[in-house]
Amino acid sequence: MAELQLTGLAPRAALRAVRQALEQADVPDAAFDARELYRLAVGKDPRLDISPLTAEEAASLAALTARRAGREPLQYIAGQWDFLDFTLAVGPGVLCPRADTEVVCEAAVKLLQASGNPTPTVLDLCAGTGCLGLGIKRFVPGARVTCWEKSPEALAYLRRNARQALPGAEVAVREGDVLTDWQTLPPESADLIVSNPPYLTGAEMQALMPETAREPAMALDGGADGLVFYRCLTGPWKQILRPGGWLVLEIGYEQREAVLALGAENGWVNGSCRQDYGGNDRAVLLQKPRNRE
């Protein structure tokens, strides 16, 4: 892409040029992204700004536009992204927090609030930025939350978010591999497990959007059928939950039946599914039977 020449342009004209450059690069939602890039480069909302761009602002906006036109995720360019009502550090090496995931967090929070236990023990497995574990801590402040993550690059963001995203709130971070580390925990020690595991199938991994291809494969690749992590989470992790405890899982939009079936095979009860705000199946909830059930 030729470098955009934006110096001296009025905000609206600059915005239009950025949007057109993004459209030419097939960026979805080019108008939204153009406004975000303007805000990042100029520090003002383009719809409220009236001053023509200085040379410095123009150079910065042109550079950000070139990165986005190269299909770098907007979240990586911004370096931070909102989830629910707080902000997370994000960048190359960690999965971007997505609005789709908010419904998973809300489902877990509702279960915890209904449980009547103000200090539940919660595990967020495959935590990435920590959006789920931190979201639970945000709305259930007494929860004892531990976020687990395997990737060293993702752990750097997770540790930073655990310190900074919710000032004053303490969330533990553990480096570990979800596929084996259930062996390190005492049985029946958790009240709720939440996870947004890697769940894309082999075929989906071959057909990623350019932005998703820049995100870590480790956070996306759920094995040939996409279900490797669900087998482990509904299998051996079950013994880590206390009877009556809940497993709350983000799923791909076509995985509801497969994950509910894994739950039934492994003896979970009260399986259900919630949709995200785009109307897609997104969260599966499974309960470990109480002893008398």
The structure tokens listed for 43 are 């520090």
Q: How far is residue 47 CA from its own chain's centroid?
A: 29
Q: Which residues bind ligand GLN (CB under 6 A)?
A: 98, 196-200, 212, 220
Cβ nearer to ligand GLN, comparing 26 with 293: 26
- HEC letters along 7-65: CCCCHHHHHHHHHHHHHHCCCCCHHHHHHHHHHHHHCCCCCCCCCCCCHHHHHHHHHHH
Of 22, 15, 89, whose CA–CA distance to 52 is shortest?
A: 15
Least Å from the CB of residue 82 to ligand GLN: 17
Least Å from the CB of residue 176 to ligand GLN: 17
Of 18, 21, 52, whose CA–CA distance to 35 is shortest?
A: 18
Cβ nearer to ligand GLN, comparing 101 with 121: 101
The C-alpha atoms of residue 191 and residue 244 are separated, in whole angstroms, by: 8
Least Å from the CB of residue 256 to ligand GLN: 14
Cβ nearer to ligand GLN, comparing 62 with 200: 200
Cβ nearer to ligand GLN, comparing 162 with 227: 227
Cβ nearer to ligand GLN, comparing 191 with 276: 276
Amino acid at 33: D
Cβ nearer to ligand GLN, comparing 52 with 216: 216
Least Å from the CB of residue 215 to ligand GLN: 7
Least Å from the CB of residue 234 to ligand GLN: 16
Cβ nearer to ligand GLN, comparing 23 with 211: 211
Least Å from the CB of residue 98 to ligand GLN: 6
The C-alpha atoms of residue 201 and residue 220 are separated, in whole angstroms, by: 9
Least Å from the CB of residue 228 to ligand GLN: 11
